[in-house]
Amino acid sequence: MGTKAKGKVQKAKGKNQGREHFLKKMPRSILNFCLLPFALCLLPCLSLAADPSYTTEIFPLLRDNCLACHSAAGKAGGLLMGSYESLIKGGANGPAIVPGKSGESRMVQMLQGKIQPQMPMGGKLAPEHIATIIRWIDAGAPGGVAPADATPKIPDIKPRVAVNAEIGSLAYSPDGKLLAVGSFKEVDLLDVASGKRVATLGGHADVVRSLAFSRDGKLLAAAGGLPARSGEVIVWDVAARTMLATVHGHADCIYGVAFSADGQRIATSSYDKLIKLWDAATGKETATLKDHIDSIYALQFSPDGKRIASGAADRTVKLWDAATGQRLFTLSEPLEGVLTLDFHPSGKRIAAAGADKFIRIWDLTDKGGTMVQSMAGHEDAILKIAYSPDGKKLVSSSADRSIKVWDAATLEEQQVLARQPDWVLALAFSPDGRRLVAGRFDGSLSFYETTTFQEVSKAMLAKK
Ligand code: HEC
């Protein structure tokens, strides 16, 4: 497989994993469960009908739902579906179809979600279409000629531009002059005053899911890695635009990266349930913090640098001693996975939110945390929250495609920025607190001024 094709495979994969990871704890099984009666009924009922034809039924189905990724241009999983011969030949994992045996066919198992990732990537085939494919395979998968009109229809999931452009992370430099935008394999540095891109830092393995500047603004840590394989952090010299160190560790991609107050250490949290500490200059691992029992999405140092907070799919927020790596205490009120958290600028409070749609705020002491606020904030999972630099406001973004602005003290809703064009995966306040920037799954960015929260400018990450 050429490098180009490989890139596309990973693009599609990264994109799907992004949502997949976030939605992992959602009741997907309910959907599968609902499809079951269909499959059971359609099988015996329809087997009396004529066997489906490759040319007039199967190929059009594959063309409309699969070919966008499984053609010579995409070659996802090494599987080409442009002709009967290539389909039967199979992909990277061997034959996708066992003629006569739909139950043993990888393609069917993937359509049904029995093998992950479920196909079509990022979507789902209608039960009657899956049934047609099953009938065709059970009839021996008879061949035929692919019609000349094999132009793939872009599947009704996400335009491919969006797959390429996903904004996974945002960070302002401490002086507020630069905005770092993390996307697929790249970090763009935007000059905030002119809105122009001044540099592109490339070479990342996959989507850059978390970004952190050191407090002096000299270093930028950009984290991500390959889902189910390895985590990666590249530490950049911001002025020189050169790589200083590359961290490779964790058994899965990294969702959170943060700098210690002195800029000498970085902390990472991963889908592999671990937090690790690294020497920022050398990329050498110095400690592993174990206690979460599920993927860790959010990570931050406290403003005084003495503690680390982590939020995980195991429904907890944990606080750790940043110097010793010792776990201090666990906040366990969330009912579902925690996807995001933020320390109040005073360091005395912490807010967290996630799949249960609640925003919760705890007062922190040396020994523990007391929940002081709890509010059903959105109609779907909360993806990101952030305190304004003055600590007076809290903003949240959600899979319900809105951003909300809250009074940080009372959690009174102050503003709703509804109808976001796509999920806002990244949110950041400028250090002076005058701008809020939102980065979305479709590659778009919006800047809001922070008195009335009107959009003052927007940008679209170029298709790569
Ligand atoms: C948006 C892109 C995309 C679409 C659309 C898509 N796939 Fe895939 N498919 C992939 C990717 C990426 C892989 C590789 C997954 C992996 O190895 O983790 C893959 C792998 C597969 C494989 C396994 C190949 C192998 O040998 O490993 C099968 C079978 C498959 N897809 C079937 C389908 C079918 C059937 C459809 C349409 C109903 C479809 N796919 C639609 C992206 C897509």
Q: Quick count: other Cβ atoms within 10 Å of Cβ 414?
A: 14
pLDDT confidence of residue 36: 35
Q: 136-171, pLDDT tens digit by residue?
A: 999 999 988 776 654 444 333 333 333 457 899 999
The CA distance from 77 to 437, in Å, is: 36
Q: HSE (CB half, 13 Å, CA atoms) of 49?
A: 12
Under a CB-based contact definition with an 8 Å cutoff, are residues 211 and 219 in contact? no
Select from 57, 67, 70, 154 the residue to mutate for testing ligand 1; criterion: most ligand atoms less than 8 Å from CB: 70
Under a CB-based contact definition with an 8 Å cutoff, are residues 244 and 237 in contact? yes
Backbone torsions φ then ψ of 232, nearest 5 degrees:
-145, 140
The one-character DSSP state at 244 is E
**Domains (ranges, CATH) in the chain?**
54-138 (no CATH), 169-460 (2.130.10.10)
Per run of 10 residues, the mean pLDDT along the chain (length 464 residues) is 36 40 38 34 42 89 83 78 90 92 95 89 84 94 73 39 72 97 94 92 92 96 90 94 91 94 94 94 92 95 96 96 95 96 98 96 95 95 97 96 96 95 95 96 93 92 62
Å from CA of 424 to ligand 1 middle: 26
Strand partners, 312: 296
For residue 180, the Cα-to-chain-centroid distance in whole angstroms is 17
The CA distance from 390 to 431, in Å, is: 9
Q: 110-132, pLDDT tens digit by residue?
A: 999 898 888 987 778 888 899 99
pLDDT confidence of residue 460: 86
Residues with CB under 6 A from ligand 1: 9, 12-13, 65-66, 68-70, 76-79, 90-93, 96, 106-107, 110-111, 117, 119-122, 125, 155
Please state the pTM of the whole predicted model: 0.63
* 284, two tokens: 């050498």
Atom 19 of ligand 1 has which residue's CA nearest to it?
Answer: 77
Å from CA of 436 to ligand 1 middle: 38
CA-based max dimension of the chain: 73
Atom 37 of ligand 1 has which residue's CA nearest to it?
Answer: 66
* 285, two tokens: 């691992």
Sheet holding 254-259, edge to edge: 254-259, 265-270, 274-279, 285-290
For residue 455, the Cα-to-chain-centroid distance in whole angstroms is 25
pLDDT confidence of residue 417: 96
Atom 20 of ligand 1 has which residue's CA nearest to it?
Answer: 77
Atom 11 of ligand 1 has which residue's CA nearest to it?
Answer: 76
Residue at 40: amino acid letter: L
Q: Which atom, in ligand 1's list, is nearest to the CA of 160?
A: 1
Select from 79, 161, 163 the residue to mutate for testing ligand 1; criterion: most ligand atoms less than 8 Å from CB: 79
Residue at 295: amino acid letter: S
Q: Which atom, in ligand 1's list, is nearest to the CA of 90?
A: 26
Cα dihedral 65→68→70→74 (10° resolution):
-160
pLDDT confidence of residue 10: 38
